[in-house]
Amino acid sequence: MPRLSLTINGRAVKARQGETILGAARERGIFIPTLCNLDGLKPLGGCRICLVEVRGHPRPVPACATKVEEGMVVTTDSERVVSMRRMVVELLLAERNHQCPVCVMNNNCELQAVARLLGIDHVRYDFIAPRAVLDISHERFGIDHNRCILCRRCVRVCDEIEGAHTWDVNGRGAASRIISDLAEPWGLSGTCTDCGKCVQACPTGALFAKGTETTGKGTICLEKLVAWRQRREP
């Protein structure tokens, strides 16, 4: 396997052909934050948290989906990309209803971790506060769209690893929702194998296991939460 030489943050780095910038950086202990990326899944390049600057490219590129090239000069921590990451995380926090203290993933959440890492102490944008529902029709798991960041890790793990393709995305833009099968209740899904991979893949508290603490997803009083989230329209 040919080795390529590149520079990351001023350090000379050798990488394998076909490796991504993210992989090459990680191997050398250079940290690049990610959200939609999950090892073992095909890169999506959707969250834009892992954007890095490559000399010669007018725009930053996603480290998770960009292959290394000979002589590449990469900067992972320039002021420009860090400020982009901050804005992206702020946009995510404002997009749905992320109230950490009442979330099963508080302190285990990747979104929270990235926000903390980037030192985001407040969000400058308006909180959109969309009405999003919760589906706990599945016997063992639930999905709370209020906490979903549309990273599609569940969609990809279900498709690429489990091979069930129960999950997909419905609607577009900010109205996108993760759906099971053709927008049927999860519990009625004919394709779901109940494997729980999606729950493990979810970076936030959007997908959670009911009544167990072993997944690191905690437990919540579901009846109250559901009653609250699915209350009647005013």
Partner 1 sequence: MTRDELRHKSRCARETRTAAGLRISVCLGSPCVATGAEAVLRALRESYGDRAIEVIGTGCMGPCSRGPLIRIEDRRGNRAAYYEKTTPATAMATVRAHLEGLNPDQGRLPADLPFLIRQQRVVLANSGICDPESLASSLENGGYAALLHAIEKMAPEEVCHEISASGLRGRGGAGYPTGTKWELVRAAKSRRRYVVANGDEGDPGAFMDRTLMESDPHRLLEGMAIAAYAVGATQGFIYVRGEYPLAARRLRQAINEATRAGLLGPHILESGFSFTIRLRIGAGAFVCGEETALMASIMGRRGQPVIRPPYPAQRGLWNQSTLINNVETFGCIAPIISKGADWFKSIGVPGSSGTKVFSISGDVATVGVMEVPLGTPLRELVAMSGGISNGNFKAAQTGGASGGCIPASHLDTPMDYESLTSLGSIMGSGGLIIMNDRRCMADMARFFMRFCQDESCGKCVPCRAGTEQAAQLLRRITSGDATEDDLVKLEELCHLMGDASLCGLGMAAPTPVLGTLRWFRDEYQAHLRAGGCPTGVCDREKHPCHV
Partner 2 sequence: MSRIKLATAWLSGCSGCHMGILNLHGGLMELFQLCDLVYSPLADFKEYPAEVDIALIEGAISNRDNLEMARIIRRYTKKVVSLGDCAINGNVAALRNPGGKAAVLEAAYADPVNKPVVFGECVPPLFDKVLPLHQVIPVDAFIPGCPPEPEAIRVALHRVIERL
The residues that touch partner 2, with contacts defined as CB under 8 A, are: 93, 97-102, 121-124, 126-127, 129-132, 146, 228, 231-234
To the nearest whole angstrom, how small is the minimum distance from the Cβ of residue 32 to partner 1? 15
Read off the tokens for 109.
């959440």
- What CA–CA distance (Å, rounded) separates 9 from 83? 17
Nearer to partner 1 by Cβ, of 28 and 80: the residue is: 80
Beta bridge partners of 67: 20
Phi then psi for residue 204, to 5 deg, are -120, -165
Shortest Cβ distance from residue 1 to partner 2 (Å)?
46
Question: Taking the complex as a whole, how short is the minimal distance between the CB of residue 74 and partner 2, in angstroms?
Answer: 32
d(C-alpha 195, C-alpha 234), whole Å:
38
The phi, psi pair for 47, rounded to 5°, reads -80, -25
- Partner whose binding site includes residue 31, from partner 1, partner 2, none (CB under 5 to 8 Å by kind): none
In the complex, the smallest distance separating the C-beta of residue 132 from partner 2, rounded to whole angstroms, is 7
CA 178, CA 60: separation in Å to the nearest integer?
Answer: 28
- What does the alpha-carbon distance between residue 37 and residue 157 come to, in Å, rounded to a whole number? 11
CB under 5 to 8 A by kind: which of partner 1, partner 2, none does 173 bind?
partner 1
The size of the interface with partner 1 (CB under 8 A), counted in residues, is: 33
Tell me the chain's radius of gyration from C-alpha atoms: 19
Q: How far apart are CA 51 and CA 86, in angstroms?
A: 11
Query: Of 126, 136, 70, nearest to 104 (Cα)?
Result: 136
- Helix (H/G/I), strand (E/B), else coil: 170: strand
Kindly state whether residue 33 participates in binding partner 1, applying the rule CB under 8 A: no
Q: Identify which range of 57-65, 97-105, 138-146, 217-225 contacts partner 1 by CB under 8 A.
A: 57-65
* Nearest distance in Å: CB 150, partner 1: 6
DSSP code of 168? E
233 interacts with partner 1 by CB under 8 A: no
> Which member of 16, 28, 99, 125 binds partner 1 (CB under 8 A)?
125
Cα separation values, 130 from 83, 91, 156, 188, Å: 26, 14, 25, 26
224 binds, among partner 2, partner 1, none (CB under 5 to 8 A by kind): none
Q: How far is the CB of 98 from partner 2 (least distance, A)?
A: 8
Nearer to partner 1, 87 or 100 (CB): 87
* 3-state DSSP helix/strand/coil % of the chain, to nearest 5: 30, 20, 55
Nearer to partner 1, 170 or 230 (CB): 170
> What residues line the site for partner 1 (CB under 8 A)?
43-48, 51, 59-60, 62, 65, 84, 87-88, 91-92, 94-95, 124-126, 128, 149-150, 152, 168-169, 171-176
